């Protein structure tokens, strides 16, 4: 079998210029989130297949890279079901592993616990721009806090980070799964149909209200319920305070604390903005994960025309491991998409130390080569990044390649450098 130089489809090699940006962003993420009290943790890249396929991951559960049993445990010829040959899976996000991590280690962690996770995840997805089968995720989560303080901290920390990366005028959309359910109940839909209705509602920004109405009718829902449902969205477009409107409209169906809590989150975040962005109540925001139980949010940027991050409250997931309900809320930024935007903008790392290349000609003696390394050591101690390399025959091309990697100055050493 011939060897292939190309990476596996949906996965990629990362070149040095991008890696420098990635390293910088990872450092800034760590610094910023730690300033908000988040602690950096790490979980394994594999989880037990039962954890990953427990009907909490939505469509992602169809995209799991499954790992076969090994050695004597693998008996493919005798197997009649997948469960007999598969025991592990590559994690498709960081939330399920975090829930397992917390349930296993909560006795050694503070309460509430503020976690920062960064790492690769894997999904057997169809690759496209900004979407890969292996990609970095970056999550912050607050576990053990049932109050709105968790949502406020998550949104504030995330937007502070984006501001430090030079992003502004983006949009944070916010909603609550309880509002979604209350609107459906108020309209007369049955609870068993909610998930199917929300999947259609999630297309509102692409197909409009008429398109949503048509798809709901195709599914056989009553015209009266469809009209009542979509009328609320039409009325909301003309309301300056959509949260207050929906709270009043759904009295008796929606607990008063839900709208009040959402308003508190919006008002507090607006008062403490670290950069320019819009925090918008979006009643059509669904978020695909079935594990969300309350507040949900999503980042939208004009540069990509799609979501570049999101999250929400998932108060029931950890309880599936421990048997005890544990409040939890998280926010994930689309690390790969943010890097894509920065690379397309030719992002320059601010206050980066000077990068200088020392090029040694073949005429330099062994004794004088030692002097080059001594000089390079002194320059590094002064804070410079110094590359020491032999000079190529095509010196012009060598410099051009180094300039692409950020080297701004060059020093050439010849046999007579110290004897002029």
Whether the bond between 317 and the residue before it is cis, its omega within 30 degrees of 0, is no
Q: Return the structure tokens found at 9.
A: 């489809």
Q: Give dist(CA 195, CA 322) in Å, integer.
A: 26
Q: Tell me what pLDDT residue 61 has.
A: 80
Answer for the pair 103, 144: CB distance below 8 angstroms, yes or no.
no
Q: pTM of the entire structure?
A: 0.88
Per-position pLDDT tens, the chain of length 420: 789 999 988 899 999 889 999 999 999 999 999 999 999 999 999 999 989 987 766 677 888 989 888 766 666 655 556 666 788 999 999 999 999 999 999 999 999 999 999 999 999 888 877 678 999 999 999 999 999 999 999 999 999 999 999 998 899 999 999 999 999 999 999 988 888 899 898 888 888 888 989 989 988 889 999 899 999 988 888 888 999 999 999 998 999 999 999 999 999 999 999 889 999 999 999 987 678 899 999 999 876 667 889 999 999 999 988 888 899 999 999 899 899 999 998 888 887 788 999 999 999 898 889 999 999 999 999 888 999 999 998 999 999 999 888 888 999 999 888 776
Confidence (pLDDT) at 95? 92
Q: Round to whole Å and give the CA distance between 191 and 175.
A: 19
| CB-based burial, 275-313: b 16+ in 10 Å, e otherwise | bebebebbbbbbbebbbbbbbbbbbbbebbeeebbbbbb
Q: Rounded distance, CA 244 to CA 236, Å?
A: 10
Reduced to 3 states (helix: H, G, I; strand: E, B; else coil), residue 113 is strand
pLDDT at 254: 92
pLDDT for the residue numbered 420: 62
User: By the 8 A CB rule, do 92 and 124 touch?
Assistant: no
Q: Is 363 helix (H, G, I), strand (E, B) or coil?
A: coil
Contact 239, 281 (CB under 8 A): no
Q: What is the pLDDT of residue 48?
A: 92
Tell me, what's the pLDDT at 31? 96
DSSP output for 305-341? TEEEEEEEE-TTTTHHHHSS---EEEEEE-HHHHHHH
Can you tell me which residue has the tokens 């397309």?
344
Structural domain spans, the chain: 16-344, 355-413
Cα atoms found within 13 Å of the Cα of residue 320, Cβ hemisphere only: 18
| Domain 16-344 belongs in CATH node 3.30.930.10 | yes
Q: What is the pLDDT of residue 47?
A: 94
């Amino acid at each position: 079998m011939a060897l292939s130089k190309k990476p596996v489809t949906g996965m990629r090699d990362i070149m040095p210029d991008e890696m420098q940006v990635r390293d910088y962003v990872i450092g800034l993420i760590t610094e910023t989130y730690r300033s908000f009290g988040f602690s950096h943790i790490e979980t394994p890249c594999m989880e037990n297949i039962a954890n990953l396929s427990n009907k909490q991951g939505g469509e992602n559960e169809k995209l799991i890279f499954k790992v076969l049993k090994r050695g004597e445990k693998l008996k493919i010829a005798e197997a009649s079901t997948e469960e007999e040959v598969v025991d592990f899976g590559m994690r498709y996000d960081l939330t399920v592993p975090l829930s397992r991590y917390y349930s296993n280690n909560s006795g050694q962690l503070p309460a509430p616990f503020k976690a920062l996770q960064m790492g690769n995840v894997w999904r057997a997805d169809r690759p496209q721009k900004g979407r890969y089968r292996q990609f970095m995720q970056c999550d912050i989560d607050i576990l053990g806090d049932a109050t709105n303080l968790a949502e406020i901290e998550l949104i504030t920390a995330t937007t502070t980070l984006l501001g430090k990366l030079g992003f502004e005028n983006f949009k944070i959309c916010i909603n609550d799964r309880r509002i979604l359910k209350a609107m459906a109940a108020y309209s007369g839909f049955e609870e068993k149909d909610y998930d199917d209705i929300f999947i259609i509602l999630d297309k509102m920004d692409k197909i409009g209200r008429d398109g949503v109405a048509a798809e709901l009718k195709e599914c056989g829902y009553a015209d009266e319920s469809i009209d009542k449902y979509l009328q609320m969205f039409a009325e909301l477009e003309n309301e300056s305070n959509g949260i207050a409107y929906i709270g009043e409209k759904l009295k008796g169906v929606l607990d008063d604390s839900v709208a009040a809590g959402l308003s508190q989150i919006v008002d507090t975040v607006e008062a403490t903005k670290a950069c320019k962005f819009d925090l918008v109540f979006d009643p059509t925001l669904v978020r695909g994960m079935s594990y969300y139980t309350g507040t949900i949010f999503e980042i939208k940027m004009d540069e990509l025309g799609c979501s570049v991050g999101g999250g929400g409250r998932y108060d029931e997931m950890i309880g599936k491991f421990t048997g005890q309900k544990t409040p939890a809320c998280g926010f994930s930024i689309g690390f790969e998409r943010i890097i894509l935007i920065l690379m397309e903008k030719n992002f320059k790392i601010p206050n980066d130390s000077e990068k200088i290349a020392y090029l040694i000609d073949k005429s330099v003696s062994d004794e004088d080569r030692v002097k080059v390394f001594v000089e390079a050591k002194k320059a590094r101690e002064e804070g410079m990044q110094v590359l020491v390399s032999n000079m190529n025959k095509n010196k012009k091309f060598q410099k051009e390649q180094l300039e692409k990697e950020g080297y701004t100055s060059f020093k050439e050493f010849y046999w007579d450098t110290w004897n002029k």
